[in-house]
Chains A and B, each alone.
Chain A
Amino acid sequence: MKTFKMGGVHPEENKISNDAAIEVMPVPAQMVVLMNQHLGAPATPVVQKGDKVKVGQLIGEAQAFMCANVHSPVSGTVLKVEPCKDAFGLDKPAVHIAVEGDEWMETIDRTPDIKRQCDLEPAAIVAKLKEMGIVGLGGATFPAHIKYSIPDGKKAEYLIINAAECEPYLTSDYRVMMEHAEEICIGISILRKALGVPAAYVGIESNKPQAIAKMQEAARQFEGIVIEPLKVKYPQGAEKQLINAVTGRKVPSGKLPIDVGCVVSNVGTCFAVYEAIQKNKPLIENILTVTGKKLPSQHNYVVRIGTTFNDIVKHSIGELPATTGKVISGGTMMGKAIVNLDAPTVKGNASVLVMDEGEARRAPETACIRCGKCMNACPMGLEPYLFSALVRNGRTEEAKDANILDCIECGCCFFSCPANKPLTDEIRLGKNRVRAMMAAKK
């Protein structure tokens, strides 16, 4: 079975919410929609206090290049346009909406029928992705219209769909594949058309045999969709690793996937693309896993973007267990701990993972014993122990020369370190310093 060549680890999978079908989370009484839900500059609010909005109406417009539109996930009245604290306690521009009823834009097709035919030209598809505010749902929330606008002189040869879901605990992609396989395949066909590539490859890890079967069955009706079962290894879902696993190509240091003719999208994005292009539905909902070993029940939800983490916790499990140590948005490897549970969810949130105090705490750090496990684990072929030393001593220039910017922050080095050194944190700090240094030199 295929997998990427270099490094990687296999953390405990803990996919305990696999069998929980996707439920619909009720809409709360008040919504806060953050304006930066994506990589890049925040969207500019285009509504004012007192405005009436409908579900799917544009409320934040992408004015910068690296930006995505934001749409209202609810209908109601705009209460105010002012900053709100995000999940990490930092003030971010936001639109606050008092929910009244559930009135959708007339243009949105809410029927359950599956619409297979897409007559749009590639350029029109990209324009519609921009209009609908589609971003990559694999974690980085990269605006999709930028990804699918291939720069001059470059040519896409492969469309690769990331359905690996290699992060422990997360099951939202799995549930989407189980319940919406056909829609995903339509979404993939649309993206394939937008790029003009002959075939799309869907990489699914072999620990999801049912999803592989479902997707293979659905893909039979479509031309040029190949399902690739992959060996279970983290970080298979990382862009560069997935390209390596599926095509055998290697993205050179400092280059983008398009430089080796590849475009990678998440399977959740494909479902969002289907809804946006075929049903005119902007990206206003997330599919989100609520999981944790100590929780009384496991859930997968479709949640309106802007529902607070507290609302999700209250609806799904009532209240957090008393022994909760951390609440994490994302998986255990790359997820971020949430400080402010009153914060609204954003487009990239894939889970609310509740970890017990015992399992959440990091073990105390000891000295590096030069075992080299971090080097063996690094999927980018870097030397994390070296970065640790360079960053601690402020040797930024040398860190840059050792290609610190190639780090994808997957956390394999920290996971494999027997001394529990916070290697990934140090590398992130080093990357920040290198970027600051390069910006200062310009």
Chain B
Amino acid sequence: MTQQILIAVIVLGVIGAFFAVVLYFVAQKFKVVEDPLIDEVADVLPGANCGGCGKAGCRAFAEACVAQGNMDGLRCAPGGEPVAQKIAALLGCSAEAGEPQVAVVRCNPSFCGEKRRSNYDGLRSCAFANTVYTGESGCSFGCLGCGDCVAACQFDAIHMNPDMHTPEVDEAKCTACGACVKACPRRIIELRNRGRNNRRVFVSCVNKEKGAAARKTCENACIGCTKCEKVCPVSAITIADSLSYIDFTKCIACRKCVVECPTHAIHDVNFPAPAKKPEPKPAAEAAPAPVAPAPAPQAAAAQ
């Protein structure tokens, strides 16, 4: 009896010792060395896995940060400046001071809501509606109004306007992760700098039809008349395919283009008072002293 127990103990002991040795070498061979810094960086991140950074998720972003050793070209949009600072402190580098951004919906259809041109009752999916027809507004560039962007937002920051059937961004909640930008099959939504005091100027139209055709499609469409381009003091406006685009890195939010636009396609947001055309004032007041008196509109443009 004692002998049997002894044999069992010895056999199991030898097998156990053999596998322990095998496992030791296997563990040595396939050892994964992970930088503990990755976990620390991942803990700082918001953990929404929104994919706004272009990585598979927050963990992948942390790995990329640690692998790179600095934060060049890496940006966590929902985390913004505070998270960037914390990661920079962990990595021991300086954080790139990125401008805070916000999603901007560049469509303002005139034929929507009650005035819509057709009544779509198919699948409520922009990706599908885009393959079927132009959309209720009749514009083949404009918003389809089925809310793919709303479904894509992880932060509850974009909602459909019930009257217009176009999306509206809640600026307070928007983290500029870019999920809505990717979800929109018509590429209407753009990430733009929030601007000083949250004040922005942008062209609320993506219609590339020629002027007359665009106007027929939508009363609020950009017709590519170039008036805004001419009036812009910092050449922030470019016109391509009969469509105006304001470069937000150059724009100084002077709002000269807003008053100039004949179709009111250029929108200004968060300004305390509506933009007004500069009133013709005496030249001496409008222009600084050294400049010779000139006609008022040009003087205004020179400022």
- A-side residues, CB < 8 A to B, are 88-91, 336-337, 339, 361-362, 422, 425-426, 428-429, 432-433
The answer to whether A429 touches B127, judged by C-beta atoms less than 8 angstroms apart, is: yes
The answer to whether B133 touches A90, judged by C-beta atoms less than 8 angstroms apart, is: yes
- 19 of the cross-chain contacts (CB-CB < 8 Å) are A89-B135, A91-B140, A337-B133, A339-B117, A339-B134, A339-B138, A362-B122, A422-B123, A425-B123, A425-B125, A425-B128, A426-B125, A426-B128, A428-B131, A429-B123, A429-B127, A429-B131, A432-B128, A432-B131
A89-B140, A432-B127 are known contacts. Are A362 and B121 too (CB-CB below 8 A)?
yes
The 3 closest A-B pairs by CB, nearest first: A89-B134, A425-B123, A88-B133
Apart from A90-B133, A426-B128, A432-B127, list 8 A-B contacts with CB within 8 A. A88-B133, A90-B140, A337-B118, A339-B134, A422-B122, A428-B131, A429-B127, A432-B128
Who on chain A is nearest to B135 by CB? A89
Instruction: Report how far A88 CA is from B131 CA in the complex, Å.
Output: 10
Residue B132 interfacial (CB < 8 Å): yes
Q: Which of B117, B125, B128, B135 has the most CB of A within 10 A?
A: B128
**Chain A residues near B131 (CB, 8 Å)?**
428-429, 432
**8 Å CB interface, B158-189 against A:** none
The answer to whether B125 touches A429, judged by C-beta atoms less than 8 angstroms apart, is: yes
A339-B118, A361-B121 are known contacts. Are A429 and B134 too (CB-CB below 8 A)?
no
Who on chain A is nearest to B121 by CB? A362
**Chain B residues near A336 (CB, 8 Å)?**
132
**Chain B residues near A362 (CB, 8 Å)?**
121-122
**8 Å CB interface, B107-154 against A:** 117-118, 121-123, 125, 127-128, 131-135, 138, 140
The answer to whether A429 touches B133, judged by C-beta atoms less than 8 angstroms apart, is: no
Query: How far, in Å, is B61 (CB) from chain A's closest CB?
Result: 21
Number of residues of chain B lying within 8 A (CB) of chain A: 16
The answer to whether A88 touches B123, judged by C-beta atoms less than 8 angstroms apart, is: no
Instruction: Report how far A277 CA is from B122 CA in the complex, Å.
Output: 42
**Chain B residues near A361 (CB, 8 Å)?**
121
**Chain A residues near B123 (CB, 8 Å)?**
422, 425-426, 429
The answer to whether A425 touches B122, judged by C-beta atoms less than 8 angstroms apart, is: yes
Query: How far, in Å, is A108 (CB) from chain B's closest CB?
Result: 36
**Chain A residues near B121 (CB, 8 Å)?**
361-362
Instruction: Report how far A357 CA is from B237 CA in the complex, Å.
Output: 46
Total inter-chain residue pairs, C-beta < 8 Å: 44
Who on chain A is nearest to B133 by CB? A88
Who on chain B is nearest to A357 by CB? B119
Instruction: Report how far A255 CA is from B10 CA in the complex, Å.
Output: 65
**Chain A residues near B125 (CB, 8 Å)?**
425-426, 429
**Chain A residues near B118 (CB, 8 Å)?**
337, 339
B interface secondary structure, majority:
loop
**Chain A residues near B128 (CB, 8 Å)?**
425-426, 428-429, 432
Who on chain A is nearest to B216 by CB? A85
The answer to whether A88 touches B132, judged by C-beta atoms less than 8 angstroms apart, is: yes
Instruction: Report how far A428 CA is from B129 CA in the complex, Å.
Output: 11
**Chain B residues near A433 (CB, 8 Å)?**
127
Who on chain A is nearest to B137 by CB? A89
Q: Which of A362, A426, A429, A433 has the most CB of B within 10 A?
A: A429
**Chain A residues near B135 (CB, 8 Å)?**
89
**Chain B residues near A90 (CB, 8 Å)?**
133-134, 140
**Chain A residues near B132 (CB, 8 Å)?**
88, 336
Query: How far, in Å, is A80 (CB) from chain B's closest CB?
Result: 13
**Chain B residues near A89 (CB, 8 Å)?**
133-135, 138, 140
Instruction: Report how far A88 CA is from B138 CA in the complex, Å.
Output: 9
Who on chain B is nearest to A360 by CB? B121
Instruction: Report how far A428 CA is from B133 CA in the complex, Å.
Output: 14
Who on chain A is nearest to B128 by CB? A429
A425-B128, A429-B128 are known contacts. Are A88 and B122 too (CB-CB below 8 A)?
no
Who on chain B is nearest to A425 by CB? B123
The answer to whether B133 touches A339, judged by C-beta atoms less than 8 angstroms apart, is: yes
Instruction: Report how far A362 CA is from B127 CA in the complex, Å.
Output: 20
Instruction: Report how far A362 CA is from B122 CA in the complex, Å.
Output: 8
Who on chain B is nearest to A426 by CB? B123
Query: How far, in Å, is B241 (CB) from chain A's closest CB?
Result: 13
Instruction: Report how far A362 CA is from B121 CA in the complex, Å.
Output: 7
Instruction: Report how far A428 CA is from B127 CA in the complex, Å.
Output: 10
Query: How far, in Å, is B16 (CB) from chain A's closest CB?
Result: 44
**Chain B residues near A339 (CB, 8 Å)?**
117-118, 133-134, 138
Query: How far, in Å, is A433 (CB) from chain B's closest CB?
Result: 8
Instruction: Report how far A433 CA is from B121 CA in the complex, Å.
Output: 21
Who on chain A is nearest to B208 by CB? A91
Instruction: Report how far A361 CA is from B122 CA in the complex, Å.
Output: 10
Query: How far, in Å, is B188 (CB) from chain A's closest CB?
Result: 17
**8 Å CB interface, B56-115 against A:** none
Query: How far, in Å, is A399 (CB) from chain B's closest CB?
Result: 14
**Chain B residues near A426 (CB, 8 Å)?**
123, 125, 128
Query: How far, in Å, is A91 (CB) from chain B's closest CB?
Result: 7
Instruction: Report how far A336 CA is from B132 CA in the complex, Å.
Output: 9
**Chain A residues near B127 (CB, 8 Å)?**
429, 432-433
**8 Å CB interface, B192-214 against A:** 209
Instruction: Report how far A433 CA is from B185 CA in the complex, Å.
Output: 12
**Chain A residues near B133 (CB, 8 Å)?**
88-90, 337, 339
Instruction: Report how far A428 CA is from B123 CA in the complex, Å.
Output: 10
**Chain A residues near B140 (CB, 8 Å)?**
89-91
Query: How far, in Å, is B160 (CB) from chain A's closest CB?
Result: 17
**Chain B residues near A425 (CB, 8 Å)?**
122-123, 125, 128
Instruction: Report how far A339 CA is from B119 CA in the complex, Å.
Output: 9
Instruction: Report how far A429 CA is from B124 CA in the complex, Å.
Output: 11
Instruction: Report how far A425 CA is from B138 CA in the complex, Å.
Output: 20
Instruction: Report how far A426 CA is from B128 CA in the complex, Å.
Output: 8
Query: How far, in Å, is A334 (CB) from chain B's closest CB?
Result: 13
**Chain A residues near B117 (CB, 8 Å)?**
339
Query: How far, in Å, is A407 (CB) from chain B's closest CB?
Result: 14
Q: Which of B123, B132, B135 has the most CB of A within 10 A?
A: B123
**Chain A residues near B134 (CB, 8 Å)?**
88-90, 339
Instruction: Report how far A227 CA is from B127 CA in the complex, Å.
Output: 44
Instruction: Report how far A339 CA is from B136 CA in the complex, Å.
Output: 9
Query: How far, in Å, is A310 (CB) from chain B's closest CB?
Result: 15
Instruction: Report how far A425 CA is from B120 CA in the complex, Å.
Output: 13
Instruction: Report how far A89 CA is from B135 CA in the complex, Å.
Output: 8
Query: How far, in Å, is A50 (CB) from chain B's closest CB?
Result: 21
